[in-house]
Amino acid sequence: MPRPAALPEIALPAEPTEQSTATFLDEARAALRDRGTALIRRTGPRTGVPQAMLDALSSMSGASTARLADLLAAAAPPAPSHDQPSPGIPALPLHRDGALIGRPPSFIAFTATSVEPGTHDSALELVDTVAALPALSHDLRDLLDTHPLEYRVLDRRPFPHLPEGWFELPAYTSTPTGQALNIILPPAAPGPWQTRLRGLTDGDSAEALRRIDDELRRSPAYITHSWSAGDIILVDNSRVLHGLRATPAGSRARLARASS
């Protein structure tokens, strides 16, 4: 299967009216249904647009569509200035957003509020697991079927509802388009959570998780997006895992996210 050249791209309406915005939303829904993602370029730094898009996609109400049309029609303010360079942000591994704490949103919107031209700083990594899962090696599928995924959150203070110690989460979730992976891969360096496959030695578990990560990244369903200012990427969190490449110290790349 050939690797997709890019994310499915949806054009903003040239003249944002309620009708043209409704058509735009229908196109975005179709992309999310078919591929689990959609890219919208050149939105400008309009406050509230990513959340308004998610609200309109989810509610399908005339009021939410009209609000999005008004925001798109408004003149974009000057881009925010990020004079303070980043102290450095480590890479985020492939994961299903919110699954670790039992609160996965349906959709996520990522946007670049500032970019570092010519770099892959904060690049977004995406893999549609509905498409990738059937190609996962049989022995890895067998491991996921026979050795439950377990997680441990090292600092539970922000999430006191989580169990102490290790707890199990299902490896799969059902979506309207098929079975998807429900997984939170471990960070490369010691981080705020740990992941393991129950019943395996630490070494065997780490090797299995490394192979899962490697096969997902080699899948035709895996895409990396390097940012341009004003990009918005919509993600169906039920089927698409996402990760972020590191932001080096001194970078001026900045991302924001919204969810619904």
Residue extents of the structural domains in the chain:
88-259
- For 56-67, the pLDDT digits (tens) are 999 888 999 999
Which CATH class, in words, describes the domain spanning 88-259? alpha beta
Residue whose tokens read 């992941």: 195
- The stretch 208-232 carries a mean pLDDT of 95
State the pTM of this model: 0.93
Q: What is the 3-state secondary structure (H, E, C) of the chain?
A: CCCCCCCCECCCCCCCCHHHHHHHHHHHHHHHHHHCEEEECCCCCCCCHHHHHHHHHHHCCHHHHHHHHHHHHCCCCCCCCCCCCCCCECCEEEECCCCCCCCCCCEEEEEEEECCCCCCCCCEEEEEHHHHHHHCCHHHHHHHHHCCEEEEECCCCCCCCCCCCCEEECCEEEECCEEEECCECCCCCCCCEEEEECCCCHHHHHHHHHHHHHHHHCCCCEEEECCCCCCEEEEECCCEEEEECCECCCCCCEEEEEEC
pLDDT above 60 (res 244) = yes
- The stretch 182-194 carries a mean pLDDT of 94
Pick from 45-49, 144-148, 158-162, 207-211: least confident: 45-49
Task: Give the pLDDT score at 2.
Answer: 43
- The stretch 121-128 carries a mean pLDDT of 95
- For 148-179, the pLDDT digits (tens) are 999 999 999 999 999 999 999 999 999 999 99
Question: Are 38 and 109 spatial neighbours (Cβ–Cβ below 8 Å)?
Answer: no
Task: Give the pLDDT score at 246.
Answer: 92
Torsion 53-57-58-63 (CA) sign: positive
- The stretch 132-137 carries a mean pLDDT of 97
The model's confidence at residue 253, banded by pLDDT at 50, 70 and 90, is: confident
Residues 6+ apart with CB under 8 A from 187: 90, 91, 92, 93, 193
pLDDT above 60 (res 213) = yes
- Distance between CA 223 and CA 258 in Å, rounded? 20
Pick from 39-48, 71-80, 229-238: least confident: 71-80
The values of phi and psi at residue 114, to 5°, are -155, 145
Higher pLDDT, 124 or 77: 124
- The stretch 181-202 carries a mean pLDDT of 96
pLDDT above 90 (res 118) = no
Task: Give the pLDDT score at 4.
Answer: 47
- The stretch 50-74 carries a mean pLDDT of 93
Identity of the residue numbered 104: P
pLDDT above 80 (res 117) = no
